[in-house]
Amino acid sequence: MNFKLAAFADEADGRISEQIRAMKENDIKYLEIRGIDGKCIIELSKEEAKEVRRKLDDAGIEVWSIGSPYGKIGINDNFTPHLDSFKYSLELAQILGTKHMRMFSFYVPSGEAEHYRDEVMSRLEQFISVAKGSGIILCHENEKDIYGDIASRCLEIYKEFPQLKAVFDPANFIQCGQDTIKAWEMIAPYVEYMHIKDAVEDGTVVPAGKGIGNIPYLLRNYKGKVLTVEPHLSVFDGFEKLEAEEKTKMKYCYPSPRIAFDEAVNALKKVMGGECL
């Protein structure tokens, strides 16, 4: 299993300098860029984006995808400023040298997803229309409480808009009560890349291979090349002061974001057999 590793390095540290350090020390060459020096990526000025690009170029790191929050607003929220921001972020993507942008399909009231189907599709169509000709591949991520939370509704989206690709997130499916193998069988042809998060039955995120996400199965059947490490592991400020017995009970809780990040990367490499490009 030879894969290219990307990462949400803002989970290691908010500062771009420390994100670069964490990536280099873990031999990760691709960044899914989300939070930079206290700002969401879509809040950067063009000059700030150029400076980030310079630092990444100097470090030999490429931006794989913009980890944007587009589509992560309520379906009844005002869409116009959201779409305007999206247009601007397409320019940031060009500056940062990436061809991918992660996005979502809007929060919908619980149990009423089908009632909002037409509005969801209309808004996604506007994203797609604005991005046309930009060279940016829009990638929809399954997420709890949005329209595309379970595989059947994700499939609706991809059939409606074949140009919209999928980001497959196992833990997010688990948190929606969706079996990941069944989800994979339904939407695998549309998957552009994967987020590596695993989870246990109650939805708690754990290192890759430690939950019910069927990560080894997914990697065996994944035909793509890029995997983004997204740790989402618990960090406990007073971890070092705990007794050994207490630490054992908190098996997947870590003393710092950087240690949690390293553990997430190491767990994935173990599942892969240590093979990556």
Return the CATH number at 103.
3.20.20.150
Which pLDDT does position 247 carry in this prediction? 45
Token pair belonging to 155: 């499939």
Model pLDDT, residue 273: 85
Number of compact structural domains in the chain:
1
Domain with 73 in it: 4-272
Residues 88-102: tens digit of each pLDDT: 999 999 999 999 999
Query: Which are the contacts of 49, defined by CB distance < 8 A and separation ≥ 6?
Result: 92, 95, 96
**CB contact set of 23 (below 8 Å; sequence gap of 6+):** 7, 9, 12, 29, 31, 59, 61
Q: Does 239 have pLDDT greater than 80?
A: no
Task: Note whether residue 153 is domain-resident.
Answer: yes
**Helices and strands (H, E) in the chain, number of each type:** 10, 14
Residue type for position 66: I
User: In this predicted structure, what is the pLDDT of residue 2?
Assistant: 81
6-15: average pLDDT: 97
* Exposure letters 32-42 (e unless 16+ CB within 10 A, then b): bbbbbeeeebb
Does residue 77 belong to any structural domain of this protein?
yes
Q: Which residues pair with 103 in a beta bridge?
A: 140
Residue 86 lies in a domain: yes
pLDDT value for 50: 98
45 within a domain of the structure (yes/no): yes
What residues contact residue 197 under an 8 Å CB cut-off, 6+ apart? 169, 170, 171, 172, 205, 208, 213, 230, 231, 232
d(CA 59, CA 133) in angstroms, rounded, equals 30
- Specify if 277 maps to a domain: no
Tokens representing residue 173 in the block: 């499916």
- The DSSP line for 98-161 is --EEEE---B--TT-GGGGHHHHHHHHHHHHHHHTTS-PEEEEEP-TTBGGGSHHHHHHHHHH-
Per-residue pLDDT, averaged over 199-225, amounts to 96
Residue 274 has a pLDDT of 55
Phi and psi torsions of 4, nearest 5°: -90, 130
User: Is residue 146 a part of any domain in this protein?
Assistant: yes
Q: What is the pTM of this model?
A: 0.93
Mean pLDDT of the chain: 94
Note whether residue 74 is domain-resident: yes
Give domain status of residue 30, yes or no.
yes
